[in-house]
Amino acid sequence: MHKRGFTATPFLFILPFLVMFVLFRFGPVVVGFLISLTEWNIVGAPKFVGAENYVRLAHDPAFWNAMMNTLYFVGLSVPLLIVIGLALAMLYNQPVKSAVIGRAVTFMPYMMMPTVIGLLWKWIYDTHYGLLNSYLVQFHIPLVPWLTDVRIAMPSVVLATLWWNAGYTMIIFLAGLQDIPEELYEAARIDGAGRWGIFRHITLPLLKPTTFFIVVITLINSFQVFDQVFVMTNGGPLAHTVTLVQYLYEVGFQQYQLGYASAVAYVLFMVLMALAMFQLRHFFKRGELG
C-alpha cells in the first residue's frame, strides 16, 4: 500500500488565519498577562511587580463593588433573557406571515449599536422629559427617577438590555425549535399528551444543546456589559451600576494604571472560563451534549 508523505498544502491554507490569530488574539492575550504583572502608566518602561496587582485586587473595595454590581446584573438579566427568548421563539414558531413579521420586529433592536440603545433608553427613562414618565403622569403616578435611584437604576438597565438582546436569544431558540422533528409532536398528540407534557418531555430535552449555547454566550456577554451602562448611568448613582468592564476602563484609560487594569481583565477572564467549564462539565456529565 502506498504511504502518503507529509504535505504542507493544508497548512498553507490555514496559515493566514494562524498568522492573524497569533498577531491579534493569542499574542495580545500573552502580552496582556505579562503587563498584569507590572506597574506601568504608559510613560516609561514597565516595572515588574509579580502578583502584587492581584493581591491589591483582593483588598480593593471599588473592585468588589464592581464585581457585585456585575453579578447582580448577570443574575437578573441572564435568566430573563433565556425565559423571554424561549417564550418568543415558541410564539413565533408558526408558519404564518404575522409570525415572520414578529420575528423581524423582535430581532430589529439587536441590530442597533449598544451606545444607541443606551441613548434611546436614557431618553425614555429621563425623569422630567422621558417617554415612560410622561405616560405615568397621565395615570397620576408620581415621577420615577429610573436612573438616579439606587434601588431601581440597575433593574432599569437590565430592562433596556432585555429589549435589546431578547431578539438574539429568540433567533437561536427558534433555530433549535425548527430542528425538532414534527413527527415527535404528532406521535405525542396521538398518545394524548397535552401542551405542557409535550413541552416538558419533548421540547425542553431536545433544546438542551441550544440552551447550553445560549447560557454560555449570554453569561459571557452579560459579564462584559459596558456600553449601555456607561451611556445610561456612567456607573451612578453612587457607583451602584459600575461594572467590571467599566472599572477596568476607568483604571486603565482614565487613571493610566495599565498593569492593574490588565489584572482586572484577567480576573474577569478567569471567572468566565470557570463558568464556561462548569457548564460544559455539567452538561457532558449528564450526557446532554452527546
Per-residue model confidence as pLDDT tens digits over 229-251: 999 999 999 999 999 999 999 99
> Which of 36-40, 156-160, 169-173, 181-185 shows the lowest per-residue confidence on average (mean pLDDT)?
181-185
Task: Find the mean pLDDT for residues 200-209.
Answer: 91
What number of other Cβ atoms are within 10 A of residue 102's Cβ?
A: 16
pLDDT grade for 286, boundaries at 50, 70 and 90 = low
Residue 139: strand, helix, or coil = coil
Q: How many CB atoms lie within 10 A of CB 41?
A: 13
Closest by CA position to 146, among listed 240, 225, 70: 240
Q: Say how far apart CA 227 and CA 245 lie, in whole Å.
A: 9
Q: Average per-residue pLDDT in the chain? A: 91
Cβ neighbours for 88, distance < 8 A, ≥ 6 positions apart: 106, 166, 167, 170, 173
Q: Which of 103-117, 156-170, 273-287 has the lowest mean pLDDT?
A: 273-287
Secondary structure of the chain: what % helix, strand, coil (to 5)? Answer: 70, 5, 25
Instruction: Name residue 98's amino acid.
Output: S
The strand pairing partners of 48, in sequence order, are: 38
Instruction: Give whichever of 27-41, 147-161, 182-196 has the largest mean pLDDT.
Output: 147-161
Average pLDDT over residues 41-67: 93
Instruction: Look at residues 260, 250, 243 and name the one whose alpha carbon lies nearest to residue 60.
Output: 260
- Cell readout for 154 is 440597575
CA distances from 75 to 115, 131, 192 (A): 22, 28, 38
The angle, 0 to 180 degrees and rounded to 10, between the axes of the packed helices 153-178 and 61-92 is 40
Of 73, 70, 51, the closest CA to residue 62 belongs to 70
Query: SS3 letters for 156-184?
Result: HHHHHHHHHHHHHHHHHHHHHHHCCCHHH
Using alpha carbons only, what angle is made at residue 199 by residues 196 and 205, rounded to the nearest 5 degrees? 140
User: Alpha-carbon Rg of the chain, whole angstroms?
Assistant: 24
SS3 (DSSP) at 252: helix
In three-state secondary structure terms, 38 is: strand
Q: Which amino acid is at 184?
A: L
In the chain, the domains with their CATH numbers are: 62-285 (1.10.3720.10)
pLDDT in tens, 24-39: 888 888 999 999 999 9
